[in-house]
Structure 1
């Protein structure tokens, strides 16, 4: 396990260096978001595909970020460790990330997220390859309300966005979680949704669905899948010095659907 993670860290460092070298040391140009997606994303992926090794023996993650918003390397390390604890992928987990041109936007609608993914996602799931997509934005979610702002959003069976600007705004200050802890929590939380939590493709053994706040979250306020884990109200429930973990009901559901 430790050897795998060490090799993973080395791979990430190599990939970052490769991307930077191929950028030629210049900032990306600032084109608008393409109006017509270049491809349709096949999102017929099930939570069991992520959790078990029945169909797929390996997971490939493609993380794309806008210039200057690359994910925290320690957060990525902890994400992969979290995945390795919960999914059966005997051939391992690989993560590739790269910058894309700036969009000129300060907020992103659901349609924007889908269009960017369709335009820039290179690694697609097929009969033999399982992939996931993470988009690290430089803006807020356009669907935010006055009282609640999204830190992350799982919007497809294998896709989610991380609103890094919003995360930075609500972390790192006095009585706030560190930016690293908040980013790590949101990454794990959104992958939990791809795993089918809660009651969204992975059936519940015991009823722990939060009927008050909806959106397929856990009713346990100490669980990683509690709704505030992906909102700016994070500090109202969770510790500012550590990241929340999955609790027993969510873990049992994952194991029952092919996970660890």
Structure 2
């Protein structure tokens, strides 16, 4: 899921205005501007080695909601397959629960401002992923099968609704947490990579007319269904619990923007 670029400007204002006067020190010297841009704006930087050769991924998670190691391993392998990054490091940060029933984008942004420590530094590009213990706040439906599983809301910021993933997989004896986590991570990561038409220009038309920034090719990782519980389970079931892969049109787009 992507958040409209106009919202990023609001978040940038929010982030800078919330700096504490008591936090004068080394942290205030960090240049965060490169990590506060719109979703997809760093697509080429992530895909290629033109500006950054290394990746640092900070995984923040609420206590008790850490992602499975299998999902993280699969995610890192996916990054290696699609980008030219020479080194990928991960750091973990356990967080207390925000103790809310649901999370909107403003609350998620506040939590990132408080807890993120990894930012771009020289040849290293930093990414931040938050695994939440509360579902996404939504006005669309109360049906648990249609809850959002993940979202990117800036060029290097992502949230995974881990509690929603766990509730979803409880209903299946064939599909486990690791598979849904990895599929969600890969899907949202590709929004960071600019898919579809979110910073990476399509070589041919394949954007879903009803769900912008998603692919209309059947079975592709970037179909919009993968963002929601019901669609995720249907696609995984159709693929015998295998994680969906990118279709040829999405792959061609990434290669044209510096990817593998």
TM-score w.r.t. length of structure 1: 0.81
Matched with 1:248 is 248
Structure 1's 50 and 144: CA in aligned 2 closer, same or farther, altered over 3 A? Answer: farther
Instruction: Give the Å deviation of 1:46.
Output: 1.5
- Whether the 8 Å contact between 1:37 and 1:116 is mirrored in structure 2 is no
| Distance in 2 separating the partners of 1:154 and 1:140 | 15
| Distance in 1 separating the partners of 2:252 and 2:228 | 25
Which structure exhibits the higher relative contact order, with contacts defined as CA atoms closer than 8 Å and separated by 6 or more residues? 2
| Distance in 2 separating the partners of 1:256 and 1:174 | 39
Structure 1's 123 and 244: CA in aligned 2 closer, same or farther, altered over 3 A? Answer: same
Q: Does 1:121 align with 2:100?
A: no
- Whether the 8 Å contact between 1:144 and 1:150 is mirrored in structure 2 is no
Structure 2 regions of 5+ residues with no counterpart?
A: 1-16, 21-27
- Whether the 8 Å contact between 1:41 and 1:118 is mirrored in structure 2 is no
Instruction: Classify the secondary structure of the residue corresponding to 1:141.
Output: coil
- Whether the 8 Å contact between 1:61 and 1:94 is mirrored in structure 2 is yes
| Distance in 2 separating the partners of 1:65 and 1:221 | 33
Instruction: Classify the secondary structure of the residue corresponding to 1:95.
Output: strand
Instruction: Give the Å deviation of 1:173.
Output: 2.7
Matched with 1:58 is 54
| Distance in 2 separating the partners of 1:105 and 1:219 | 35
CA deviation digits over 1:27-79, x for unaligned, max 9? xxxxxxxx945579422451000000011010100010000000110000000
Aligned residues: 224
Matched with 1:134 is 129
Structure 1 regions of 5+ residues with no counterpart?
A: 1-34
| Distance in 2 separating the partners of 1:37 and 1:248 | 44
Matched with 1:29 is none
